Amino acid sequence: MPRLIGSRRWPRWLYNAALCALAPLIWRRVWRESSPGHPRRERLGLIETTPPELAVIWLHAASVGEVLAARPLIEALQGRYPDHRLVVTTMTATGAERVAALARTAENSGPLGEVSHYFVPLDFPGAANRFVTRLRPTLAIFFETELWPNLLHACHRHAVPVAVVNGRLSAKAMRGYRRIGALMATALCHVDWLAAKSTADAERFRRLGMAGERITTVGSLKFDIGLNHDVCADSERLRTSLGERPIWIAGSTHPGEDEQVLAAHALLRQHHPTALLILVPRHPRRFDDVARLCESQGERLARRSQGESVEADTTVYLGDSMGELSMLYGAADIAFVGGSLVPIGGHNLLEPAALGVPVLSGPELANFGDVAEVLHAADALTEVADATELGEALIALLDDPSERQRRAAAGRAAIEANRGALTRTLAGLAKLLRQ
């Protein structure tokens, strides 16, 4: 045993032993993450074998939020490498659904490269190695902080270049990773290039064990968000159907946050009695629970999934559908982005800002600190601490149309000024593909 202490193998051996011990719990957790057309054996790396003549670019994004953030990169890779098959893996079923939507878009967009989806294998040595062996990727791209030691080791073993793009590592996450510092240093030694969102992220990755010469600070891909004109048209049609009334949206909300959103809505309706809230819970499994919560608090509810009409006395429109958050954002006067009044770390603030909708959030923005900093500097983001402050902020903005317009223009200008990460990321990936 002493002679292994100085090697890079023992941290992964300990990690694998822990995985084996926790295997029943891990499998139980992912069992519910299923999707039509994707058998659960994909979790064991049991996928079809890629023909030798077919070049594959593999991009892994954890869930729906990461897929949406990666969309500019996915579309750029499709356009730049139409002779490659682009495989996107996700951990969650909601992420799989978003990839399927992108694939349908690609089918209707002319000569783009093929995009397909698998569930990412569980990070057991056999599953990881089986997946990489069968997929035969020319390049592996991991989005943000998806650092799976056995998958990275399998890529190294099969001489697959590895990139981490839009790399982010919050101070809180780094403290957690440093508890397993030897394992993370071992994993990071298999990363050929890391495109960091900010200098702070780059420094944290370096302190975690990533070689400094392999890190480039490129900015956040999230700022390269594009406007889908079909989505904008759908937003306008929905807005027209909802009538002339104040409308705000709370998107990607979590347990403990819905209650605060409804309390803020009650405060708002004291000043604007006809105000409508579009409420979009983050996870589909919570749709029914949130519907019951709204009804228990006396709200007149209409559910989008059931085709229910929004009438004059409707107070909450539940966005219990998949893939429509952007469209729903565009139909509102003001947007509150959830995951920020509870300790989740926030969600994509740029999605409503790009649509010209003034943005509110809570203070819990660890996952989007760089984005929040840019929007704050442009005076395009208002942070609130609780339901009362949220209600007061809504009242103030609805009472001042010119301020809403100014904030909308400031948000769009901030996004435009911070574009460019996509170009820099593609240049770095092209070097790896030429190796």
Per the CB < 8 A criterion, the answer to whether 340 and 334 are in contact is no
Per the structure block, which two tokens stand in for 355?
Answer: 């649509």
Kindly report the backbone phi and psi dihedral angles of residue 63, in degrees, each rounded to the nearest multiple of 5, phi listed first: -150, -165
Identify which of 242, 196, 190, 244 has the alpha carbon closest to the alpha carbon of residue 216. 196
List the structure tokens of 102.
Answer: 């992108």
Ramachandran bin of 409, using left for φ above 0, alpha for ψ from -120 to 50, beta for the remaining angles:
alpha
Element (H, E) at 289: helix 287-296
The alpha-carbon radius of gyration of the chain (Å, integer) is: 22
* Residues 40, 71 contacting (CB under 8 angstroms): no
Is residue 146 among the annotated active site residues?
Answer: no
The DSSP annotation for 298-332 comes to T--EEEGGGT----TT--EEE--SSS-HHHHHHT-
* CA distances to 186, 217, 367 from 421, in Å: 27, 9, 18
Q: What tokens does 94 get?
A: 């909601």
Helix (H, G, I), strand (E, B) or coil at 116: strand
For the chain, what is the total number of helices (H) and then of strands (E)? 17, 14
**Distance of alpha carbon 44 from alpha carbon 33, whole angstroms:** 14
Amino acid 99 reads V
DSSP class of residue 363 equals S
The torsion of the CA quartet 172, 173, 175, 179, rounded to 10 degrees, works out to 150
The two structure tokens encoding residue 433: 């593909």
Neighbours of 230 (CB within 10 A): 10
The residue from 66, 97, 364, 389 that is catalytic is 66
Known catalytic residues are 66
